Amino acid sequence: MLNAIVGSIPSPSSGQLHIGPLRLTAYGLMIALGVMAAVEIARRRHAARGGDPDDFSQIAVWGVVAGLIGARLYHVLTDLDRFRGHWGDTVKVWEGGLGIPGGLLLGVLVGLWAARRRGMTTGYALDIVAPAIPVAQAIGRWGNWWNQELFGGPTNLPWGLRIDSAHRPAGYEDVATYHPTFLYEGLWNLALAGFIVWLERRTRDRLRPGSMFAVYVAGYGIGRFWVESLRIDPAQQLLGVRFNLLLAAFATVMALGWLVVFGRRGPDVGEAGGVAGLVGSPGVDDDGDDGAADGAGADVG
């Protein structure tokens, strides 16, 4: 018990923030801050390649809304027992409950649709957002801290997370400190974002457009796998294994497979030169090969 008092991370007493008469849910605020950070990163990366930063402000409107819908649908569908008889709770996003896999799937698909409408190739758009998404996830995970949810198993480590008795799962009523999985995943995602930026600079001329997004998927999958294995909250299972563990493993294998088979540029692809060959270039297709029109330009990640 001494460790729980002296060497632990405290949890907030409430998941709400009061600013005068204004009352904000901290969970929603963390999600909003994460989205804002991701959009700004994408804007700056696009502008550095010669594009209009407002492009990604417009894309974000579509992608973020779709991502939130997809994330909530995934959470509800993989935790149906929690909502049976309380279907009105399915819309209470402010109380927590967003499934990242669903948010990524629908958000990225709709975001790519919006990017294509603005003349961007798929690979280019994916690489632009590759380090932005994990930063958003790292910030958003602090919402779990505010809600005292989705923590790991008991631990006596100095950085154990102190959980109030009202939020402790059945069978753990006498345990005060748990693994702060929100912090583990947040730090992992920040490191992943930094690694993507570093790797992109080192391999800009050698990897196909879209490769940095594949690195993100593989890296996030690996991190999510070990973090998910620490969690003790009830979760949908398949063959006796948490469904999110299986999904993380599948995503990692698929992303690594894509990098091995398709990641390297072909000998016909020229050196990186900016956004000209990526946005509105009719002679270039997504896989880096010259298109049928006239072969002009180069598809650059």
- Is the model's pLDDT at 272 over the cut of 50? no
Backbone angles phi, psi at 241, to 5 degrees: -120, 140
pLDDT band at 230 (very low <50, low <70, confident <90, very high): very high
Q: For residues 267 and 155, which has the higher predicted lDDT (pLDDT)?
A: 155
The one-letter amino acid at 180: P
Q: Is residue 16 part of a domain?
A: no
Cα–Cα dist 122/109, whole Å: 10
Q: Is residue 218 part of a domain?
A: yes
Q: For residues 280 and 216, which has the higher predicted lDDT (pLDDT)?
A: 216
pLDDT tens for 124-181 read: 999 999 999 999 999 999 999 999 999 999 999 999 999 999 999 999 999 999 999 9
Q: Is residue 75 part of a domain?
A: yes
- Is the model's pLDDT at 235 over the cut of 60? yes
pLDDT band at 275 (very low <50, low <70, confident <90, very high): very low
- Is the model's pLDDT at 83 over the cut of 80? no
- Is the model's pLDDT at 19 over the cut of 80? no
Q: Is residue 283 part of a domain?
A: no
Number of domains in the chain: 1
Identify the pLDDT of residue 188. Answer: 98
- Is the model's pLDDT at 298 over the cut of 50? no
Mean pLDDT of 256-274: 70
- Is the model's pLDDT at 117 over the cut of 90? yes
Q: Is residue 70 part of a domain?
A: yes
Residue 24's beta-bridge partner residues?
17
Q: Is residue 251 part of a domain?
A: yes
Identify the pLDDT of residue 266. Answer: 63
pLDDT band at 101 (very low <50, low <70, confident <90, very high): confident
pLDDT tens for 52-67 read: 999 999 999 999 899 8
Q: Is residue 164 part of a domain?
A: yes
pLDDT band at 94 (very low <50, low <70, confident <90, very high): low
Q: Is residue 181 part of a domain?
A: yes
pLDDT tens for 167-225 read: 999 999 999 999 999 999 999 999 999 999 999 999 988 999 999 999 999 999 999 99
Identify the pLDDT of residue 72. Answer: 84
* Domain extent for 45: 24-82+95-262
Percent of the chain with pLDDT over 70: 84
pLDDT band at 95 (very low <50, low <70, confident <90, very high): low
Mean pLDDT of the chain: 84
Cβ-proximal residues to 221 (8 Å cutoff; 6+ apart), any chain? 248, 249, 250, 251, 252, 255
Cα–Cα dist 38/296, whole Å: 32
- Is the model's pLDDT at 82 over the cut of 60? yes
